Amino acid sequence: MKGALPTIAIIGRPNVGKSSLFNLLIKERKSIVDEMEGVTRDINIGEFKTLRGRAFRIYDTAGYLEKGDQFNKLVQEKVKQAIAYADLILFLVDGREYHPIDEELGRFLRKQDKPVLVIANKLDHRKFDDDLYEFYNLGFEQIVPFSVVHKRGVNDLYDTFEDMFPEGAMGDDESGEICVSIVGRPNVGKSMLVNTLLGYERSIVSEVPGTTRDSLDDVLIWKGRKIRLIDTAGLRRTSRVEDDIEYYSAVRTAQAIERSHVVIQLLEANEPVSHQDKHISEMVIEKGRGLIFAYNKWDLMGLAEDGEENYRRMQEFRKMTLNEYPTFDYIPLEFISAKDNYKIGRLMELVFEVYGEYNRRVPTPELNEWLKQEIRETDLDKPKSNLKVYYATQPLTAPPKFIIFVNKRDHIRKDFPRFLEKRIRARFGFSGVPVRMFFKQRERDKKNT
Protein backbone atom coordinates (compact mmCIF):
# COMPACT_ATOMS: atom_id res chain seq x y z
CA MET A 1 0.00 0.00 0.00
CA LYS A 2 2.82 2.33 0.73
CA GLY A 3 3.80 4.29 -2.36
CA ALA A 4 5.63 7.41 -3.44
CA LEU A 5 3.44 9.76 -1.43
CA PRO A 6 3.96 10.38 2.30
CA THR A 7 1.22 8.36 3.96
CA ILE A 8 -0.90 9.52 6.89
CA ALA A 9 -3.31 7.32 8.89
CA ILE A 10 -6.17 8.73 10.97
CA ILE A 11 -6.61 6.61 14.11
CA GLY A 12 -9.04 7.04 17.00
CA ARG A 13 -11.88 5.53 18.97
CA PRO A 14 -15.32 5.40 17.33
CA ASN A 15 -17.26 8.58 16.57
CA VAL A 16 -14.54 11.19 17.19
CA GLY A 17 -14.77 12.53 13.62
CA LYS A 18 -12.18 10.49 11.68
CA SER A 19 -14.23 10.23 8.48
CA SER A 20 -15.20 13.91 8.70
CA LEU A 21 -11.53 14.89 8.95
CA PHE A 22 -10.71 12.59 6.05
CA ASN A 23 -13.41 14.19 3.89
CA LEU A 24 -12.25 17.67 4.90
CA LEU A 25 -8.65 17.00 3.85
CA ILE A 26 -9.46 15.37 0.50
CA LYS A 27 -12.23 17.96 -0.12
CA GLU A 28 -14.95 15.48 -1.03
CA ARG A 29 -17.50 13.32 0.77
CA LYS A 30 -15.79 10.00 0.14
CA SER A 31 -16.09 8.40 3.58
CA ILE A 32 -19.55 7.77 4.95
CA VAL A 33 -20.31 9.97 7.95
CA ASP A 34 -23.05 8.97 10.37
CA GLU A 35 -23.83 9.35 14.07
CA MET A 36 -23.94 5.56 14.40
CA GLU A 37 -20.66 4.12 15.67
CA GLY A 38 -18.74 1.69 13.49
CA VAL A 39 -19.81 3.04 10.11
CA THR A 40 -16.26 2.91 8.73
CA ARG A 41 -15.21 -0.74 8.68
CA ASP A 42 -12.28 -0.84 6.28
CA ILE A 43 -9.42 1.40 5.21
CA ASN A 44 -10.56 4.22 2.96
CA ILE A 45 -7.79 5.81 0.93
CA GLY A 46 -7.60 9.31 -0.51
CA GLU A 47 -5.06 11.87 -1.65
CA PHE A 48 -4.87 15.61 -0.99
CA LYS A 49 -2.61 18.58 -1.52
CA THR A 50 -1.64 21.35 0.86
CA LEU A 51 -2.00 25.02 -0.02
CA ARG A 52 1.52 24.94 -1.45
CA GLY A 53 0.78 21.95 -3.62
CA ARG A 54 2.47 19.22 -1.55
CA ALA A 55 0.74 15.88 -2.09
CA PHE A 56 -0.07 13.29 0.58
CA ARG A 57 -1.93 9.99 0.81
CA ILE A 58 -4.30 9.53 3.73
CA TYR A 59 -6.09 6.54 5.29
CA ASP A 60 -9.40 6.70 7.10
CA THR A 61 -9.82 3.76 9.49
CA ALA A 62 -12.45 2.12 11.63
CA GLY A 63 -12.87 3.16 15.24
CA TYR A 64 -10.29 1.41 17.40
CA LEU A 65 -11.62 -0.99 20.02
CA GLU A 66 -9.27 -3.46 21.70
CA LYS A 67 -12.07 -5.87 22.60
CA GLY A 68 -14.97 -7.18 20.56
CA ASP A 69 -16.42 -10.12 18.67
CA GLN A 70 -14.69 -12.08 15.91
CA PHE A 71 -15.86 -9.66 13.22
CA ASN A 72 -14.55 -6.66 15.16
CA LYS A 73 -11.17 -8.41 15.41
CA LEU A 74 -11.02 -8.45 11.60
CA VAL A 75 -11.79 -4.73 11.57
CA GLN A 76 -9.06 -3.97 14.11
CA GLU A 77 -6.52 -5.93 12.06
CA LYS A 78 -7.17 -3.44 9.25
CA VAL A 79 -6.53 -0.57 11.67
CA LYS A 80 -3.21 -2.11 12.66
CA GLN A 81 -2.28 -2.60 9.02
CA ALA A 82 -2.95 1.09 8.32
CA ILE A 83 -0.67 2.00 11.22
CA ALA A 84 2.05 -0.28 9.85
CA TYR A 85 1.92 1.32 6.39
CA ALA A 86 1.71 4.93 7.62
CA ASP A 87 4.57 7.44 7.82
CA LEU A 88 2.57 9.62 10.24
CA ILE A 89 -0.32 8.85 12.58
CA LEU A 90 -3.03 11.40 13.31
CA PHE A 91 -4.37 10.33 16.71
CA LEU A 92 -7.84 11.90 16.70
CA VAL A 93 -9.59 12.49 20.03
CA ASP A 94 -12.72 14.31 21.14
CA GLY A 95 -11.18 17.41 22.75
CA ARG A 96 -14.17 17.80 25.04
CA GLU A 97 -13.82 14.37 26.67
CA TYR A 98 -10.77 12.47 27.91
CA HIS A 99 -11.77 8.83 27.48
CA PRO A 100 -10.26 5.56 28.83
CA ILE A 101 -10.13 4.16 25.28
CA ASP A 102 -7.91 7.12 24.34
CA GLU A 103 -5.46 6.05 27.03
CA GLU A 104 -5.57 2.44 25.82
CA LEU A 105 -4.98 3.48 22.24
CA GLY A 106 -2.24 5.88 23.32
CA ARG A 107 -0.35 3.02 25.00
CA PHE A 108 -0.63 0.98 21.81
CA LEU A 109 0.55 3.81 19.54
CA ARG A 110 3.58 4.58 21.72
CA LYS A 111 4.85 1.08 20.95
CA GLN A 112 4.68 1.53 17.17
CA ASP A 113 7.82 3.63 16.65
CA LYS A 114 5.90 6.04 14.41
CA PRO A 115 5.51 9.83 14.67
CA VAL A 116 2.15 10.64 16.25
CA LEU A 117 0.25 13.92 16.12
CA VAL A 118 -2.68 14.25 18.54
CA ILE A 119 -5.61 16.13 16.97
CA ALA A 120 -8.13 17.35 19.57
CA ASN A 121 -11.29 17.64 17.49
CA LYS A 122 -14.63 19.32 18.29
CA LEU A 123 -12.99 22.37 19.90
CA ASP A 124 -15.17 24.89 18.10
CA HIS A 125 -13.96 27.85 20.22
CA ARG A 126 -10.58 28.82 21.66
CA LYS A 127 -12.14 29.03 25.14
CA PHE A 128 -12.07 25.21 25.19
CA ASP A 129 -8.30 25.03 24.59
CA ASP A 130 -7.58 24.94 28.31
CA ASP A 131 -9.12 21.48 28.37
CA LEU A 132 -6.26 20.17 26.25
CA TYR A 133 -3.75 19.76 29.07
CA GLU A 134 -5.27 16.50 30.24
CA PHE A 135 -4.48 14.95 26.86
CA TYR A 136 -0.73 15.31 27.49
CA ASN A 137 -1.23 12.26 29.73
CA LEU A 138 -1.39 10.28 26.48
CA GLY A 139 2.38 10.67 26.23
CA PHE A 140 2.76 12.65 22.99
CA GLU A 141 4.45 16.01 22.66
CA GLN A 142 2.28 17.78 20.09
CA ILE A 143 -1.46 18.35 20.51
CA VAL A 144 -3.34 20.40 17.92
CA PRO A 145 -6.68 22.08 18.79
CA PHE A 146 -9.02 21.43 15.90
CA SER A 147 -12.60 21.68 14.66
CA VAL A 148 -13.61 19.80 11.53
CA VAL A 149 -17.00 21.53 11.49
CA HIS A 150 -15.49 25.04 11.52
CA LYS A 151 -12.30 24.06 9.65
CA ARG A 152 -10.30 25.36 12.57
CA GLY A 153 -6.64 24.37 12.45
CA VAL A 154 -6.57 23.07 8.83
CA ASN A 155 -3.88 25.46 7.60
CA ASP A 156 -1.73 24.79 10.67
CA LEU A 157 -2.10 21.08 9.99
CA TYR A 158 -0.95 21.56 6.39
CA ASP A 159 2.13 23.44 7.63
CA THR A 160 2.90 20.63 10.07
CA PHE A 161 2.71 18.02 7.33
CA GLU A 162 5.10 20.02 5.15
CA ASP A 163 7.55 20.50 8.02
CA MET A 164 7.54 16.79 8.92
CA PHE A 165 8.32 15.52 5.41
CA PRO A 166 11.17 16.63 3.16
CA GLU A 167 10.59 18.51 -0.08
CA GLY A 168 10.20 16.39 -3.16
CA ALA A 169 7.93 13.66 -1.79
CA MET A 170 5.42 14.31 -4.55
CA GLY A 171 3.20 11.71 -6.07
CA ASP A 172 3.53 9.93 -9.38
CA ASP A 173 1.82 11.30 -12.42
CA GLU A 174 -1.78 10.04 -12.43
CA SER A 175 -1.99 10.21 -16.24
CA GLY A 176 -2.30 6.87 -17.96
CA GLU A 177 -3.76 4.96 -15.03
CA ILE A 178 -6.73 2.68 -15.64
CA CYS A 179 -9.49 3.08 -13.09
CA VAL A 180 -11.27 -0.23 -12.46
CA SER A 181 -14.18 -0.74 -10.10
CA ILE A 182 -15.35 -4.14 -8.92
CA VAL A 183 -19.11 -4.38 -8.43
CA GLY A 184 -21.72 -6.99 -7.68
CA ARG A 185 -24.24 -8.20 -5.18
CA PRO A 186 -23.18 -8.49 -1.52
CA ASN A 187 -20.85 -11.35 -0.64
CA VAL A 188 -20.06 -12.28 -4.25
CA GLY A 189 -16.31 -12.02 -3.59
CA LYS A 190 -15.40 -8.45 -4.51
CA SER A 191 -13.02 -7.87 -1.60
CA MET A 192 -11.42 -11.28 -2.09
CA LEU A 193 -10.66 -10.35 -5.70
CA VAL A 194 -9.08 -7.07 -4.58
CA ASN A 195 -6.92 -8.92 -2.06
CA THR A 196 -5.84 -11.47 -4.70
CA LEU A 197 -4.88 -8.75 -7.17
CA LEU A 198 -2.90 -6.83 -4.57
CA GLY A 199 -1.29 -9.87 -3.03
CA TYR A 200 -2.28 -9.05 0.55
CA GLU A 201 -5.43 -8.55 2.61
CA ARG A 202 -6.31 -5.01 1.60
CA SER A 203 -10.06 -5.41 2.26
CA ILE A 204 -11.90 -7.23 5.02
CA VAL A 205 -13.25 -10.58 3.82
CA SER A 206 -16.13 -12.00 5.82
CA GLU A 207 -19.11 -14.27 5.26
CA VAL A 208 -21.28 -11.45 6.62
CA PRO A 209 -22.98 -9.77 3.62
CA GLY A 210 -22.39 -6.03 3.42
CA THR A 211 -18.98 -6.05 5.15
CA THR A 212 -17.72 -3.45 2.68
CA ARG A 213 -19.69 -0.21 2.95
CA ASP A 214 -17.35 2.43 1.56
CA SER A 215 -15.80 2.39 -1.90
CA LEU A 216 -12.10 1.76 -1.40
CA ASP A 217 -9.18 2.78 -3.63
CA ASP A 218 -5.78 1.27 -4.03
CA VAL A 219 -3.15 1.34 -6.77
CA LEU A 220 -1.17 -1.53 -8.23
CA ILE A 221 1.15 -2.04 -11.18
CA TRP A 222 0.15 -4.95 -13.41
CA LYS A 223 2.58 -5.78 -16.22
CA GLY A 224 3.84 -2.23 -16.21
CA ARG A 225 0.37 -0.63 -16.27
CA LYS A 226 -0.94 1.45 -13.38
CA ILE A 227 -4.33 0.25 -12.14
CA ARG A 228 -6.50 2.10 -9.63
CA LEU A 229 -8.77 -0.47 -8.00
CA ILE A 230 -12.07 0.49 -6.42
CA ASP A 231 -13.70 -2.14 -4.21
CA THR A 232 -17.34 -1.26 -3.62
CA ALA A 233 -20.15 -2.02 -1.25
CA GLY A 234 -22.54 -4.74 -2.41
CA LEU A 235 -25.61 -3.28 -4.09
CA ARG A 236 -29.04 -4.35 -2.87
CA ARG A 237 -32.52 -3.63 -4.15
CA THR A 238 -33.88 -0.31 -2.96
CA SER A 239 -36.62 -2.06 -0.99
CA ARG A 240 -33.92 -3.76 1.09
CA VAL A 241 -31.98 -0.63 1.95
CA GLU A 242 -32.78 -0.61 5.65
CA ASP A 243 -30.95 2.47 6.86
CA ASP A 244 -29.12 5.58 5.74
CA ILE A 245 -25.76 3.81 5.74
CA GLU A 246 -26.81 1.26 3.12
CA TYR A 247 -28.34 4.07 1.08
CA TYR A 248 -25.05 5.97 1.14
CA SER A 249 -23.19 2.76 0.25
CA ALA A 250 -25.34 2.37 -2.87
CA VAL A 251 -24.63 6.00 -3.75
CA ARG A 252 -20.89 5.41 -3.29
CA THR A 253 -21.06 2.39 -5.60
CA ALA A 254 -22.76 4.46 -8.29
CA GLN A 255 -20.07 7.11 -7.85
CA ALA A 256 -17.36 4.45 -8.11
CA ILE A 257 -18.80 3.33 -11.46
CA GLU A 258 -18.76 6.94 -12.66
CA ARG A 259 -15.07 7.26 -11.73
CA SER A 260 -14.15 4.10 -13.61
CA HIS A 261 -12.96 3.38 -17.12
CA VAL A 262 -13.69 -0.34 -16.83
CA VAL A 263 -16.05 -2.16 -14.45
CA ILE A 264 -15.68 -5.81 -13.48
CA GLN A 265 -19.07 -7.18 -12.47
CA LEU A 266 -18.81 -10.34 -10.41
CA LEU A 267 -21.53 -12.95 -10.83
CA GLU A 268 -21.71 -16.02 -8.60
CA ALA A 269 -21.17 -19.33 -10.38
CA ASN A 270 -23.46 -21.32 -8.09
CA GLU A 271 -26.37 -18.88 -8.25
CA PRO A 272 -28.56 -17.79 -11.19
CA VAL A 273 -28.36 -14.30 -12.64
CA SER A 274 -30.72 -12.12 -10.60
CA HIS A 275 -32.77 -9.03 -11.29
CA GLN A 276 -30.28 -7.08 -9.18
CA ASP A 277 -27.37 -8.35 -11.31
CA LYS A 278 -29.15 -6.97 -14.36
CA HIS A 279 -29.80 -3.67 -12.62
CA ILE A 280 -26.09 -3.28 -11.90
CA SER A 281 -25.13 -4.13 -15.50
CA GLU A 282 -27.62 -1.65 -16.89
CA MET A 283 -26.28 1.05 -14.56
CA VAL A 284 -22.73 0.48 -15.85
CA ILE A 285 -23.78 0.72 -19.49
CA GLU A 286 -26.07 3.68 -18.83
CA LYS A 287 -23.14 5.55 -17.31
CA GLY A 288 -21.08 4.74 -20.40
CA ARG A 289 -18.38 2.55 -18.83
CA GLY A 290 -16.60 -0.53 -20.11
CA LEU A 291 -17.94 -3.77 -18.63
CA ILE A 292 -16.61 -7.29 -18.04
CA PHE A 293 -18.64 -10.17 -16.62
CA ALA A 294 -16.75 -12.57 -14.36
CA TYR A 295 -18.30 -15.64 -12.76
CA ASN A 296 -16.49 -15.91 -9.44
CA LYS A 297 -16.22 -18.94 -7.14
CA TRP A 298 -15.73 -21.25 -10.12
CA ASP A 299 -13.81 -23.50 -7.71
CA LEU A 300 -17.15 -24.43 -6.12
CA MET A 301 -18.25 -26.09 -9.38
CA GLY A 302 -15.99 -29.06 -8.57
CA LEU A 303 -14.49 -29.23 -12.08
CA ALA A 304 -10.94 -29.85 -13.25
CA GLU A 305 -9.48 -26.51 -14.28
CA ASP A 306 -8.67 -27.41 -17.89
CA GLY A 307 -10.74 -30.52 -18.55
CA GLU A 308 -13.34 -31.15 -21.22
CA GLU A 309 -16.16 -31.05 -18.66
CA ASN A 310 -14.94 -27.67 -17.43
CA TYR A 311 -15.03 -26.29 -20.98
CA ARG A 312 -18.52 -27.72 -21.58
CA ARG A 313 -19.90 -26.10 -18.43
CA MET A 314 -18.35 -22.77 -19.36
CA GLN A 315 -20.08 -22.91 -22.74
CA GLU A 316 -23.38 -23.67 -20.98
CA PHE A 317 -22.87 -20.64 -18.75
CA ARG A 318 -22.07 -18.44 -21.75
CA LYS A 319 -25.30 -19.51 -23.43
CA MET A 320 -27.30 -19.02 -20.23
CA THR A 321 -25.81 -15.56 -19.71
CA LEU A 322 -26.65 -14.53 -23.26
CA ASN A 323 -30.23 -15.68 -22.68
CA GLU A 324 -30.37 -13.46 -19.57
CA TYR A 325 -28.65 -10.54 -21.34
CA PRO A 326 -29.78 -10.76 -25.00
CA THR A 327 -28.64 -7.22 -25.82
CA PHE A 328 -25.30 -7.56 -23.99
CA ASP A 329 -23.71 -9.98 -26.46
CA TYR A 330 -20.69 -7.66 -26.78
CA ILE A 331 -19.72 -7.98 -23.08
CA PRO A 332 -16.72 -10.32 -22.55
CA LEU A 333 -17.16 -13.09 -20.01
CA GLU A 334 -14.57 -14.91 -17.89
CA PHE A 335 -14.69 -17.62 -15.22
CA ILE A 336 -12.50 -17.04 -12.18
CA SER A 337 -11.82 -18.04 -8.62
CA ALA A 338 -10.51 -15.11 -6.61
CA LYS A 339 -9.83 -17.49 -3.75
CA ASP A 340 -7.63 -19.83 -5.85
CA ASN A 341 -6.19 -17.14 -8.17
CA TYR A 342 -7.75 -18.98 -11.12
CA LYS A 343 -7.73 -17.01 -14.42
CA ILE A 344 -7.06 -13.72 -12.66
CA GLY A 345 -4.31 -12.98 -15.17
CA ARG A 346 -6.75 -13.49 -18.04
CA LEU A 347 -9.24 -11.21 -16.31
CA MET A 348 -6.66 -8.42 -16.19
CA GLU A 349 -5.84 -8.97 -19.87
CA LEU A 350 -9.53 -8.36 -20.56
CA VAL A 351 -9.33 -5.13 -18.56
CA PHE A 352 -6.54 -3.88 -20.85
CA GLU A 353 -8.44 -4.99 -23.96
CA VAL A 354 -11.69 -3.30 -22.95
CA TYR A 355 -9.82 -0.15 -21.90
CA GLY A 356 -8.24 -0.03 -25.36
CA GLU A 357 -11.65 -0.38 -27.02
CA TYR A 358 -13.08 2.24 -24.66
CA ASN A 359 -10.60 4.78 -26.00
CA ARG A 360 -10.62 3.63 -29.63
CA ARG A 361 -11.41 6.08 -32.41
CA VAL A 362 -12.19 4.98 -35.96
CA PRO A 363 -10.71 7.45 -38.50
CA THR A 364 -13.46 9.20 -40.48
CA PRO A 365 -12.20 8.03 -43.92
CA GLU A 366 -12.12 4.39 -42.74
CA LEU A 367 -15.55 4.72 -41.15
CA ASN A 368 -17.14 6.13 -44.28
CA GLU A 369 -15.44 3.67 -46.61
CA TRP A 370 -17.03 0.92 -44.52
CA LEU A 371 -20.37 2.74 -44.51
CA LYS A 372 -20.45 2.98 -48.32
CA GLN A 373 -19.72 -0.72 -48.59
CA GLU A 374 -22.37 -1.52 -46.01
CA ILE A 375 -24.95 0.50 -47.94
CA ARG A 376 -24.11 -1.36 -51.15
CA GLU A 377 -24.17 -4.83 -49.58
CA THR A 378 -27.14 -4.59 -47.21
CA ASP A 379 -29.40 -1.93 -48.76
CA LEU A 380 -28.85 -0.04 -45.54
CA ASP A 381 -30.57 3.12 -46.74
CA LYS A 382 -33.31 1.57 -48.88
CA PRO A 383 -36.03 0.49 -46.46
CA LYS A 384 -39.65 1.39 -47.06
CA SER A 385 -39.14 4.49 -44.91
CA ASN A 386 -37.04 6.16 -47.66
CA LEU A 387 -34.18 6.74 -45.23
CA LYS A 388 -30.88 7.83 -46.77
CA VAL A 389 -27.62 7.50 -44.85
CA TYR A 390 -24.95 9.93 -46.08
CA TYR A 391 -21.86 9.72 -43.90
CA ALA A 392 -20.67 9.24 -40.34
CA THR A 393 -18.01 10.42 -37.93
CA GLN A 394 -16.79 9.45 -34.47
CA PRO A 395 -16.08 12.71 -32.64
CA LEU A 396 -15.57 11.25 -29.14
CA THR A 397 -14.23 8.23 -27.31
CA ALA A 398 -14.63 6.91 -23.73
CA PRO A 399 -17.21 5.71 -24.64
CA PRO A 400 -17.22 5.81 -28.46
CA LYS A 401 -19.80 8.20 -29.88
CA PHE A 402 -20.87 8.20 -33.53
CA ILE A 403 -22.81 10.82 -35.43
CA ILE A 404 -24.71 9.50 -38.45
CA PHE A 405 -25.96 12.05 -40.99
CA VAL A 406 -29.27 11.15 -42.66
CA ASN A 407 -31.89 12.83 -44.83
CA LYS A 408 -34.80 12.62 -42.36
CA ARG A 409 -34.59 11.67 -38.71
CA ASP A 410 -38.26 10.71 -38.60
CA HIS A 411 -37.55 8.06 -41.27
CA ILE A 412 -35.40 6.09 -38.81
CA ARG A 413 -37.07 2.85 -37.73
CA LYS A 414 -36.98 1.95 -34.04
CA ASP A 415 -34.81 -1.09 -34.70
CA PHE A 416 -32.36 0.75 -36.96
CA PRO A 417 -29.96 2.09 -34.25
CA ARG A 418 -29.55 -1.41 -32.80
CA PHE A 419 -29.05 -2.88 -36.27
CA LEU A 420 -26.41 -0.29 -37.15
CA GLU A 421 -24.65 -0.77 -33.82
CA LYS A 422 -24.35 -4.50 -34.53
CA ARG A 423 -22.87 -3.80 -37.96
CA ILE A 424 -20.36 -1.34 -36.46
CA ARG A 425 -19.32 -3.89 -33.83
CA ALA A 426 -19.00 -6.63 -36.46
CA ARG A 427 -16.52 -4.48 -38.36
CA PHE A 428 -14.70 -2.48 -35.67
CA GLY A 429 -15.09 -4.45 -32.44
CA PHE A 430 -15.67 -2.31 -29.33
CA SER A 431 -15.84 -5.39 -27.10
CA GLY A 432 -17.21 -4.60 -23.64
CA VAL A 433 -17.90 -0.98 -24.52
CA PRO A 434 -21.24 0.82 -24.92
CA VAL A 435 -21.56 2.55 -28.28
CA ARG A 436 -23.50 5.81 -28.47
CA MET A 437 -25.12 6.85 -31.75
CA PHE A 438 -26.70 10.15 -32.67
CA PHE A 439 -28.55 10.84 -35.92
CA LYS A 440 -28.51 14.29 -37.49
CA GLN A 441 -30.07 15.77 -40.60
CA ARG A 442 -27.85 17.60 -43.04
CA GLU A 443 -28.44 21.34 -43.12
CA ARG A 444 -29.59 21.22 -46.75
CA ASP A 445 -32.18 18.58 -45.87
CA LYS A 446 -33.46 20.73 -43.00
CA LYS A 447 -34.05 23.59 -45.41
CA ASN A 448 -36.04 21.33 -47.74
CA THR A 449 -38.23 20.04 -44.92
The CATH number covering residue 18 comes to: 3.40.50.300
Q: What is the number of structural domains in the chain?
A: 3
Q: What is the pLDDT of residue 69?
A: 44
Kindly report which listed range (48-57, 141-150, 201-210, 313-322) carries the lowest average pLDDT score. 201-210
The reply to whether 169 falls in a domain is no
Q: What is the pLDDT of residue 422?
A: 94
Kindly report which listed range (84-98, 129-143, 146-160, 420-434) carries the lowest average pLDDT score. 129-143
Kindly report which listed range (181-185, 188-192, 239-243) carries the lowest average pLDDT score. 239-243
Kindly report which listed range (41-55, 121-135, 164-178) carries the lowest average pLDDT score. 164-178
| Co-location of 231 and 336 in the same domain | yes
Q: What is the distance of C-alpha 166 from the center of its chain?
A: 31
The reply to whether 377 falls in a domain is yes
Q: What is the pLDDT of residue 33?
A: 42
| Co-location of 13 and 79 in the same domain | yes
Res. 61 pLDDT band, cuts 50 70 90 = confident
| Co-location of 120 and 238 in the same domain | no
> What is the rounded average pLDDT of the residues 30-53?
60
Res. 42 pLDDT band, cuts 50 70 90 = low
More confident call, 221 vs 241 = 221
Burial of 230 (0-12, 13-18, 19+ CB in 10 A): buried
> What is the rounded average pLDDT of the residues 152-179?
74
More confident call, 171 vs 404 = 404
The reply to whether 24 falls in a domain is yes
pLDDT exceeds cutoff 70 at 43: no
Q: What is the pLDDT of residue 41?
A: 44
What is the rounded average pLDDT for all residues in the chain?
81
The reply to whether 172 falls in a domain is no
The reply to whether 38 falls in a domain is yes
| Co-location of 369 and 300 in the same domain | no
pLDDT exceeds cutoff 50 at 236: no
Q: What is the pLDDT of residue 177?
A: 84
Range of the domain at 147: 7-164
d(CA 326, CA 319): 10
Res. 443 pLDDT band, cuts 50 70 90 = low
> What is the rounded average pLDDT of the residues 248-261?
73
* Domain-ending residue, one of 314, 330, 357: 357
More confident call, 207 vs 121 = 121
> What is the rounded average pLDDT of the residues 234-258?
56
Tell me which residue of 173, 175, 179, 168 sits closest to 220, measured CA to CA. Answer: 179
Determine if the pTM surpasses 0.75. no
> What is the rounded average pLDDT of the residues 76-93?
83
* Domain-ending residue, one of 313, 334, 357: 357
* Domain-ending residue, one of 117, 133, 164: 164
| Co-location of 333 and 232 in the same domain | yes
| Co-location of 45 and 79 in the same domain | yes
Q: What is the pLDDT of residue 39?
A: 37
> What is the rounded average pLDDT of the residues 307-317?
90
pLDDT 10s digits, 161-172? 988 886 654 344
pLDDT 10s digits, 273-284? 998 899 899 999
Listed in sequence order, the residues at least 6 apart from 114 whose beta carbon sits closer than 8 Å to its beta carbon are 83, 86, 87, 88, 89
The reply to whether 170 falls in a domain is no
The reply to whether 330 falls in a domain is yes
pLDDT 10s digits, 334-364? 999 999 999 999 999 999 999 999 999 999 9
The CATH number covering residue 373 comes to: 3.30.300.20
| Co-location of 371 and 417 in the same domain | yes
Q: Phi-psi category of 113—alpha, beta or left, where left has phi over 0 and alpha has psi -120 to 50?
A: left
| Co-location of 415 and 287 in the same domain | no
Q: What is the pLDDT of residue 84?
A: 79
pLDDT exceeds cutoff 80 at 178: yes
| Co-location of 223 and 268 in the same domain | yes
| Co-location of 157 and 192 in the same domain | no
Q: What is the pLDDT of residue 444?
A: 64
| Co-location of 348 and 371 in the same domain | no
HEC-encoded secondary structure of the chain: CCCCCCEEEEECCCCCCHHHHHHHHHCCCCCCCCCCCCCCCCCEEEEEECCCCCEEEEEECCCCCCCCCHHHHHHHHHHHHHHHHCCEEEEEEECCCCCHHHHHHHHHHHCCCCCEEEEEECCCCHHHHHHHHHHHHHCCCCEEECECCCCECHHHHHHHHHHHCCCCCCCCCCCCCEEEEEECCCCCCHHHHHHHHHCCCCCCCCCCCCCCCCCEEEEEEECCEEEEEEECCCCCCHHHCCCHHHHHHHHHHHHHHHHCCEEEEEEECCCCCCHHHHHHHHHHHHCCCEEEEEEECHHHHCCCCCCHHHHHHHHHHHHHHHHHCCCCCCCCEEECECCCCECHHHHHHHHHHHHHHHCCCCCHHHHHHHHHHHHHHHCCCCCCCCCCEEEEEEEECCCCEEEEEECCHHHCCCCHHHHHHHHHHHHHCCCCCCCEEEEEECHHHHHCC
The reply to whether 216 falls in a domain is yes
Question: How would you list the strands of the sheet with 389-396, edge to edge?
Answer: 389-396, 401-406, 436-441
| Co-location of 187 and 153 in the same domain | no
